[in-house]
């Protein structure tokens, strides 16, 4: 009697779910892409749930779902307002949970000057805003040294300008050409932010 051959189905490959953030540091008001891939057998068309835990990092909450494509990839686009952790979970026969990725949010810092070509010894006003609001904190007015390093020349408090942003203003006597910027040090809910550079030419 001939033996009957029985085909054995291959065991399914356990799923693994990756996650990454691009960029890992984002300017306030801009979006970040949260992407990853579900690997393993039958990874296409699976539901992926994004979870977020915004500062003060106390609770992960569901923040939307999507499906993996034919190769198992998924993507979300989010605009975090404070430092935020993200995690993904895939619903499949072998459920998978990703690691946690941290996205740092830098405040938006503007810098204006009252005169970009002052006379030697005249006082120039440096002013601008920090978004979002950080009333009661401070920014640093910095001048670039010949070495390329930045030296703090004034520490300026941030003042109330409504619920959306804070203002700052300081005057400095300018005796020679120089390049300036304003730096907002990091705090618990945001990483550090900095303004564009401003070049002053004395005449």
User: What are the pLDDT digits (tens) for 181-203?
Assistant: 999 999 999 999 999 999 999 98
Comparing 17-26, 91-100, 118-127, 131-140, the range with the smallest average pLDDT is 91-100
Structural domain of 143: 108-200
Q: Model confidence at 11, in pLDDT bands (50, 70, 90)? A: low
62 and 115 both lie in a single domain: no
What per-residue confidence (pLDDT) applies to 203?
87
Domain boundary among 90, 106, 122: 106
Query: CATH number for the domain including 154?
Result: 2.60.40.10
Does residue 139 contact residue 156 with C-beta atoms inside 8 Å? yes
Domain termination residue (choose one: 106, 128, 156): 106
Predicted model pTM = 0.86
Q: What is the DSSP string of 47-87?
A: EEEEEEEETTT---EEEEEEE--TTSEEEEEE--SS-EEEE
Instruction: Indicate if 98 and 151 belong to the same structural domain.
Output: no
In 3D space, the residue among 144, 150, 148, 146 whose CA is nearest the CA of residue 199 turns out to be 144
Residue 190's Cβ-count burial label (10 Å; 0-12, 13-18, 19+) is buried
In a shared domain, residues 99 and 164:
no
Percent of the chain with pLDDT over 70: 94
Eight-class DSSP state of 177: -
Query: How much is the pLDDT for 4?
Result: 41
Residue 103 CB burial class (10 angstroms; 0-12, 13-18, ≥19): buried
Residue 8 belongs to some domain of the structure: no
Smallest CA-to-CA distance from 40 within 66, 72, 85 is with: 72
10-14, 102-106, 169-173: which range is least confident on average?
10-14
User: φ, ψ for residue 160 (rounded to 5)?
Assistant: -65, 130
Task: Answer with the residue of higher pLDDT: 84 or 13.
Answer: 84
Give the mean model confidence (pLDDT) for residues 34-51.
95
| Shared-domain flag, residues 154 and 79 | no
What is the token pair recorded at 23?
């960029």
* 165, pLDDT greater than 80: yes
Same domain, 64 and 102: yes
């Amino acid at each position: 009697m001939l033996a009957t051959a029985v085909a054995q189905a291959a065991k399914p490959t356990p799923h693994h779910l990756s996650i990454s953030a691009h960029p890992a540091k984002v300017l306030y008001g801009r979006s970040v892409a949260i992407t990853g891939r579900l690997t393993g057998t039958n990874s296409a068309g699976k539901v992926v749930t994004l979870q977020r835990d915004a500062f003060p990092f106390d609770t992960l909450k569901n923040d939307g779902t999507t499906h993996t494509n034919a190769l198992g990839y998924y993507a979300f686009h989010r605009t975090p307002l404070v430092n935020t952790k993200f995690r993904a979970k895939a619903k499949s026969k072998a459920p998978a949970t990703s690691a946690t990725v941290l996205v740092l949010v830098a405040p938006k810092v503007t810098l204006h000057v009252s005169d970009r070509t002052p006379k030697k010894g005249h006082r120039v006003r440096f002013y601008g805003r920090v978004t979002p609001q950080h009333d009661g904190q401070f920014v640093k007015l910095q001048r670039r040294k010949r070495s390329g390093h930045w030296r703090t020349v004034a520490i300026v408090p941030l003042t109330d300008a409504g619920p959306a942003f804070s203002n700052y203003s300081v005057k400095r006597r300018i005796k020679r050409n120089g390049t300036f910027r304003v730096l907002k040090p990091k705090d618990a809910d945001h990483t550090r932010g900095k303004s564009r550079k401003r070049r002053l030419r004395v005449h």
